[in-house]
Amino acid sequence: MGINKNTILAWATFIMILMGLLLIGMGAFRYNDVAGWGFAATGIGFLAIAWVFNALKGRV
């Protein structure tokens, strides 16, 4: 079973998108104070890193 770098990057991108959406959802629906802004900002950061992983696919 050979797992190449593109497969690992694809799985990492998928997990990062999932976690980013989860964190944004927690910030939006679970917390109504300043903590919600922190969760949402972290979720947006996760989505940005997933975008970079997706852009690196095929170049590494």
Task: Report pLDDT digits (tens) over 25-42.
Answer: 988 888 888 888 888 899
Angle at 32 between CA 28 and CA 36, to 5 degrees: 55
Is residue 1 scored above 60 in pLDDT?
A: no
Stated pTM of the model: 0.75
- Residues 23, 47: contact at Cβ < 8 Å? no
For the cut 90, the answer to whether the pLDDT of residue 8 exceeds it is no
- For the chain, the domain total comes to 1
Contacts of 58 (CB under 8 A, 6+ apart): 6
Domain that holds residue 41: 5-56
Report in angstroms the alpha-carbon separations of 21 from 5, 41, 55, 60. 24, 11, 19, 26
